[in-house]
Amino acid sequence: MTGHAQPAVDIEDIRQLFAGVLEVTASEVTDDADFAEELDVNSLTMLEIADRLDERYGIELPIGEFMALSSLSEVRDLVDRLLRARTADIQPETRGWKIL
């Protein structure tokens, strides 16, 4: 047991999204493949992927932070963090409430 929470997003979903945009097989988009060096991803492609991730997960990616990412696992970590933050924001505050 590592003590880490299960990711809120499946990396395979993100892998499929990347593969579709890049027009490659999902197996080519490995967790740690460098976007620029191994997958020839440019800034316009990253913007397209960011837009699709925003739509898919209902989040707003911080573009500067997103553009600095270089691997699928980093993208998954960012999307996961944003989804968890959004979930935490909509959870009702229960401290001090008496539940009947």
Per-residue tens of pLDDT for the chain, all 100 residues: 444 566 678 999 999 999 999 999 999 999 999 999 999 999 999 999 999 999 999 999 999 999 999 999 999 999 999 999 887 765 445 455 555 5
Task: Name 25's Cβ contacts closer than 8 Å, sequence gap at least 6.
Answer: 19
- Continuous segment of H or E residues that includes residue 57: helix 43-57
Q: For the chain, what is the domain count? A: 1
Question: Looking at residue 69, which CATH number applies to its domain?
Answer: 1.10.1200.10
Residue of 17, 7, 6 whose CA lies nearest to 56: 17
pLDDT of residue 88: 72
Q: Which domain holds residue 26?
A: 11-88
Give domain status of residue 1, yes or no.
Answer: no
Rounded distance between C-alpha atoms, residue 77 and residue 9, angstroms = 9
Task: Name 30's Cβ contacts closer than 8 Å, sequence gap at least 6.
Answer: 72
Rounded distance between C-alpha atoms, residue 52 and residue 56, angstroms = 6
Q: Tokens standing for 39?
A: 């997958």
pLDDT of residue 8: 77
What is the value of pTM for the model shown?
0.80
Give domain status of residue 37, yes or no.
Answer: yes
